[in-house]
Amino acid sequence: MADIILHDMNELLDMKRACRLAGDVLRYIEQFVVEGVSTGDLDQLCHEYITEHGAISATRNYNGFPGSICTSVNHVICHGIPGPYKLKKGDIINIDVTVALDGWHGDTSKTFLVGKCSKLAETLVKAAEKALFVGIEAVKPFGHFGDIGVAIQKFVAQTGFSIVQDYCGHGIGKEFHADPLVLHYDCREKREQILPGMFFTIEPMLNVGSCKTKVLNDGWTVVTVDKSLSAQFEHTIAVTEDSVEILTL
């Protein structure tokens, strides 16, 4: 716990501004998530929106990542690199946005449906969004981080989908990625306490098939090993003395 930073109310106000912008980017880009647009086009639109609002993309050039957003299509779980691929009717795409505004990071993602999708895709996306909010509801000041994964896994078990265990939520603030790790599956021994002043993300990834993952040769793109569909939603949250606030709504 020594490495987890606790923030004061003034820092929370700064964090809210960054997170609000991240949420605004997702709302802005939704109108462009249509058949025929390329993931590279979406990246450029988000990049322009972010910079026009006085911020920078935290993912751009992060350890060499080339995009201003992550675009993860269909069986891509996370960290998809924007490029020439043009969206087709029936695709699903997760767009993951992290902005840095005045030194603070706001991190959020959403999975979009492109036109008319299969019933399976629609069910998966709804379940992934519900899993996020089930996890958020499990957060309590002075509770434990393990409670989040227990709640998410209990819900997901009812859906027949699987939860990715190789990637998790994380602390955030002045740093893009910080302690604590926020697991999305049942890990009851994770007894670190949730304390007022903590900022962190919750971002469960659900797969239709196996929960196993594979990183492609580009060193970034994470896919399902069986090429089954994957969906994810993410919010950044803050814990105060008496409440839990979703900052990226």
| pLDDT tens digit sequence for 110-155 | 999 999 999 999 999 999 999 999 999 999 999 999 999 999 999 9
Instruction: Name the nearest CA neighbour of 94 among 116, 69, 119.
Output: 69
Are 164 and 231 within 8 A, CB to CB?
no
pLDDT 10s digits, 47-104? 999 999 999 999 999 999 999 999 999 999 999 999 999 999 999 999 999 999 999 9
Q: Quote the DSSP letter at residue 194.
A: P
Of 237, 146, 139, 216, nearest to 185 (Cα)? Answer: 146
Query: Residue ranges of the alpha helices (H) in the chain?
Result: 9-29, 39-52, 119-137, 146-157
pLDDT of residue 133: 98
**Does residue 190 or residue 202 have the better pLDDT?**
202
pLDDT (0 to 100) of residue 45: 98
Cα–Cα–Cα angle for 220, 224, 229, nearest 5°?
A: 115
Cα–Cα separations (whole angstroms), residue 129 to 14, 98, 147, 165, 202: 27, 18, 18, 17, 11
Q: Which domains does the chain have, with CATH numbers?
A: 9-246 (3.90.230.10)
pLDDT grade for 3, boundaries at 50, 70 and 90: confident
The gap between the terminal CA atoms of the chain, to the nearest Å, is 27
Spell out a b/e string for 41-61, using b for 16 or more CB atoms within 10 Å of the CB, else e.
Answer: ebbebbbebbeeeebebbbbe
Q: What is the pLDDT of residues 34-45, one digit of tens each?
A: 999 999 999 999
Percent of the chain with pLDDT over 90: 96
Averaged pLDDT, 4-11: 94
Q: What is the pTM of this model?
A: 0.96
Q: Are strands 70-73 and 222-224 parallel, antiparallel or unpaired?
A: unpaired
Phi then psi for 11, rounded to 5 degrees? -70, -35
C-alpha 202/C-alpha 242 separation (Å) is 19
The phi and psi torsions of 238 (rounded to 5 degrees) equal -125, 145
pLDDT at 1: 46
Look up residue 112 and give its two tokens: 């979009």
Q: Can you tell me the mean pLDDT for 172-190?
A: 90
